[in-house]
Structure 1
Amino acid sequence: MTQTAPLTPAAGFSREQRRALTVIVVSQTLGGAGMAAGITVGALLAQDLLGSTSLAGLPAALYTIGAALGAAVLGRVCQRFGRGPGLALGNGIAALGSAGVVAGAAARWPALLLAALFVYGAGTVTGLLARYAGADLAPPERSGRAAGTVLFAMTLGAVAGPNLIGPTGSLAHAWGIPRLAGPFLLAAAAYTAATLVLLVWLRPDPLLLAQPQKARDAVAEPGTEVHRPVRDTPGVITGAAVMITAQLVMIAVMTMTPVHMTGHGHATQAVGLVIALHVGAMFLPSPLSGLLADRIGGRRVAAAAGAVLLGAGLFAGLVPPTSATLLACALVLLGVGWNLALLGGTALITDAAPAENRAAVQGLADVGMSVAGATGGMVSGLVVGSSGYPALATAAGALALAVIPTVALSGTRRRP
């Protein structure tokens, strides 16, 4: 008997479905490189232009606020027109925002830089929304692995991006642009390529394939929308709560780690490596996390995420700031915990939301994630400025522990 590998959930699907998943994977690989730019140098770029450590969390706050708006809008676009147009629009917005960041840095105009980061964030949420497109194609017992495969596809680009700080910085410097803006040059090119891939090759649309014929016809008809109460409201609420908490914790710690490291004498390349390892841990375990969600249920996976995030926060707060190796270990643990929370929460929401308005419900759940990320990004700089990085990391880990009682009290069950 032939076994199916976790990284190929399209096996056994129709030719159209396999083709759609392949296109999404390619676009995710490109988008991952673009997403890593803001994670790696956004805080450092703002610190350079604004001259304040307390405001270094502002970029993360802005692009996560932008992501909140983007998740709401793109979820509606996907519901109305399909995944292809929605995801392509999101990548195009991210490319525009990346170009704006480069322009703002070159002109040393903080207002333009911050506005562009907002636009950039509205597009970067596309990479996370794409996981739902993977689940569109899968039977219920394989939806976790399908979503995990799409997230895994971001790993190559997301890990490569931070390690290209040096080359892209040199290119930017040669063009008379600040070195820290170099990764956003890469982001603009990567997101543009992802947009073209989706527009040209994502046919037929995975969401429209997954919808019941009646709902598909209603969505395709201009001016008509399908609305039905969510089948399992506790499942949606629990899944969203898990992802929101994990996002707040992860963004808060991750955003200030580069500032913490550079403040203790670490080189920019060392910072880039630590963030690359963290981003890899955010996405590399996705097939395994998805498999666990399919096998043992999203609730158990989400509960495990709370424990892992607690450990990551305590570890980051206690390790010596001069040890890049130990900080990297803490950030890897942080990424793994976030991944478990994301796939566990995604499984709960996908199971609970009906197909005919699933994309809109999923988009609203990701709005909550983005708002939490914005809160974490803004508060992180203030906490570090007043109490230090160890206090921030420890408090974030303690907050993550709230995931466990939330899941335990929900009483939600995965559908057969």
Structure 2
Amino acid sequence: MTGDHHRTDSLPTATATATATATGPRPAGPASHSDGIEVRRVEEADVADWIRALSTGFLRSPVVSGDEVAERTPHYLASRTLGAFDRGRCVATFRSFGQELTVVGGATVPADAISNVTVTATHRRRGLLTRMMTRDLAAAKERGDVVATLVAAEYPIYGRYGFGPATWSTEWTIDVPRAGLDRRRPVPDGGGRIDLVDGDDVRALGPGLHERLRRVQPGAIDRPERWWQVNTGAVRLEHSPWTEPFHAVYRAADGTVEGLAAYVCDDTWTDAKQPQNTATVRNLIAVSPAAERALWLHVCSTDWVTKVKSGWRAPDDLLPLLLPDPRAAVITTHADWLWVRILDVVRALEARTYAGSGTLVLEVADESGWAHGRWRLEASPAGASCTPTTRSADLTLHVRELAPLWLGDESAVRLAALGRVREERAGAAEVADALLRTSRRPWCPDLF
């Protein structure tokens, strides 16, 4: 997760974008470093100081143990970890690593995943984030990454770097007694079954299941082996105490694993000796509606559990309507989640699928030059092509608005009403919606 404090910019004016053509990247020039602060790659000797700066930026204890340094050093040195150093002391942190992002239709594109972004309070407003971000995105473009991704701790920061919120997440809290479930009925009540398993089983079954999910879920990202180790307790993090969850697996009638849930329960009782336990879902993935329904009903039907916290779910999740009384599921959080910055317009628009047919000319403003230009998209269910063009634009927009349209979550008509997209041809926003929007919203199940 990333954080800092910056403002976003408004939609470029017609004058600023009228001359936009696909002339290729125009990376920003190097910033002045007369302040003596050095931005560079983090070496092994820097890791302890870098972790201290990271913890300070996120308002956690700045004390760093030797075990934490030993645990994190190989992980950080294997990724693209940057730091800003003032007279030898780390005052800003930044890390990126390779990722795969699923687009509409199930294809994946290479992404530059950004995390661990902080600037120490004593060094804000000195352009340190801009220096680190510019360096990282330029390298990502050079590598051939199609997009960059991040999960923003604060909303107003990353629009100025071309990122836009491309997926959202919602968390529900379920009042189980009110939900109207018949908790006497077996779960599941069809041909499948649910088994409680341990971490070894999850590490064996989970990766294959997740691969099936992310091939059909726009917005999903890959989960490396370390993810499964950390989230099953095989690797214990010094800075994050481990509580072993319950792991529930749903198997279809033929024995195929179609769903997996991990959840923890507290130990709460009333003075009248009545259990009022809360089950908190850490992770729930399913590749069939039957598995999704069975796993939610399993958690909600567990004896002593009177409240269920869903964890971060897709905003159009099936969960509320799975309950006889959907009002028992109250939204406790609804917020932006995965932010995407498009670096290669052609590869991004050609990678996804389209349910309908049409042509759209987009004029994209990007101060960095990486996505700047006028692009002609010709799309149909059979495929798509995107090419530079000098034809008149149908829509004018900033690159930060392109990502949520590209991943299918946002409406061009709504963005036009907000002044973030400008129609250059009447009805173009409706054409864009018909081409780009999806029947189900994209969702990223993971934080990174």
TM bucket normalised to smaller: under 0.3
Where relative contact order (Cα < 8 A, 6+ residues apart) is larger, the structure is 1
The TM-score normalised by the length of structure 1 is 0.22
Larger Rg: 2
